[in-house]
Chain A
């Protein structure tokens, strides 16, 4: 079946998509900032655990895992950023091609000899717009897949690690109070990331509304 996207609809979708990308990018920043804080906090916590000795060995292991978690999360966010950058490029091309189509569709009076060529050009332009829309949908699906299959499960791991660190802190002997403070800070930062990821998940789901 010949694709029949309208130029106007493509332009409206493009505008909505650009707004959505802006929201996603803002939420990515809201994840990356606390993830970096986790990384720094975890380094300090590893040193503190070393000073505390055997009693804080478990806490040290969990802090190291939290540091890895933060690094992996940042990497995944970079992947997400790459996908949104690709979406911006696709939307830019879509706006351009939809504009060409809109202008071609405004040509009304042409002799029959020219009409054939005009139809050929319009068909090519419609196909180009249609293909851009498909590419955009594929990128949107990739964003959702990355978030659902990789990032959200990773986040669950982060939550578990923060909780475990909180428990381990209680066994820290004379360093228990200090470790408790660090673990509370871990938990607060993890909560912050979770809130941002929930908003991010919502932003990536906008196209299904």
Chain B
């Protein structure tokens, strides 16, 4: 069963990672969901697909009252990111969903009405959440053409969506990256195929290199900490992307 684990805690300002579901059906990709809490209010990053909603909901409920989640951040439009939206709306119909303007008329196919969506312009957006100002950081074409990451400058935490993602074997499924060189082999194929643009990749690397990041949290795989964050950015900058696996 999925479990919510605290990855950042500064009193009323917390980040929770909901990860690893051994009971998940094998045909569904494993995902990480992240919750940022400020002033008692919750913002859920990439809440996941409909199939895993019960596991995410149960795991999250153990640590936090889901009725207090009033916003969702969708990095992009994929079903493993946001197809559970309609179910979260069942629990809070007033919930807001932040997503790229590009997908604001596509994601409603999963649920929600015009009042649900807050469109993020291409340049990004400051999102006020509780006492925090979170930054939607552009990551277009990595892999979606309308793609954003979420940066919390106070926690020095970057939710990086599919960037940094790794498809881990069960025996290397820790929450954090412990051995970068060993870990990155599980990320290589994913990034080569899913990330379509070299130009966009370098643009992103330059952008995030300017941020102070202690934790880089992808939607699949393990979390990068400390020096491994810059190690990843350097590795990614060098990687040839947009190619089929040879």
A9 at interface (Cβ–Cβ under 8 A)? Answer: no
B190 at interface (Cβ–Cβ under 8 A)? Answer: no
A residues in contact with B67, CB < 8 Å: 114, 117
* Contact across chains for A114 and B90 when beta carbons are under 8 A apart: no
* Contact across chains for A107 and B54 when beta carbons are under 8 A apart: yes
* Contact across chains for B62 and A111 when beta carbons are under 8 A apart: yes
A residues in contact with B189, CB < 8 Å: none
B66 at interface (Cβ–Cβ under 8 A)? Answer: yes
* Contact across chains for B65 and A113 when beta carbons are under 8 A apart: yes
Q: Which 8 A-B pairs have the closest CB atoms?
A: A106-B54, A107-B54, A110-B61, A114-B61, A109-B58, A121-B90, A107-B57, A103-B53
A164 at interface (Cβ–Cβ under 8 A)? Answer: no
Give the distance to chain A from B15, nearest Cβ to Cβ, in Å. 20
Give the distance to chain B from A144, nearest Cβ to Cβ, in Å. 34
B237 at interface (Cβ–Cβ under 8 A)? Answer: no
* Contact across chains for B87 and A104 when beta carbons are under 8 A apart: yes
Give the distance to chain A from B59, nearest Cβ to Cβ, in Å. 9
B residues in contact with A107, CB < 8 Å: 53-54, 57-58
A positions within 8 Å CB-CB of B: 96, 99-100, 103-104, 106-111, 113-114, 117, 121, 124-125
B residues in contact with A106, CB < 8 Å: 54
Known A103-B87, A106-B54; contact A114-B1, beta-carbon cutoff 8 A: no
B91, closest chain A residue (CB): A121
Q: Chain B interface mostly helix, strand, loop or mixed?
A: helix
A103, closest chain B residue (CB): B53
Give the distance to chain A from B234, nearest Cβ to Cβ, in Å. 41
B5 at interface (Cβ–Cβ under 8 A)? Answer: no
A residues in contact with B87, CB < 8 Å: 100, 103-104
Known A117-B91, A121-B91; contact A103-B54, beta-carbon cutoff 8 A: yes
Q: Chain A interface mostly helix, strand, loop or mixed?
A: helix
Out of A108, A109, A113, A125, which one reaches B90, CB within 8 Å? A125
B residues in contact with A103, CB < 8 Å: 50-51, 53-54, 87
A96, closest chain B residue (CB): B86
A residues in contact with B54, CB < 8 Å: 103-104, 106-108
A110-B61, A110-B62, A117-B91 are known contacts; what are 12 more A-B pairs with Cβ within 8 Å?
Answer: A100-B87, A100-B90, A103-B50, A104-B87, A104-B90, A107-B53, A109-B58, A109-B61, A109-B62, A110-B58, A111-B61, A114-B61
Give the distance to chain A from B24, nearest Cβ to Cβ, in Å. 12
User: Which residues of B, 32-84, contact A by the 8 Å Cβ criterion?
Assistant: 50-51, 53-54, 57-58, 61-62, 65-67
Give the distance to chain B from A102, nearest Cβ to Cβ, in Å. 10
Bound Cα distance from A100 to B88, whole angstroms: 10
Give the distance to chain B from A96, nearest Cβ to Cβ, in Å. 8
Question: What would be 8 A-B contacts, judged by CB atoms less than 8 Å apart?
Answer: A96-B86, A100-B87, A103-B50, A103-B87, A108-B54, A113-B65, A114-B65, A117-B67
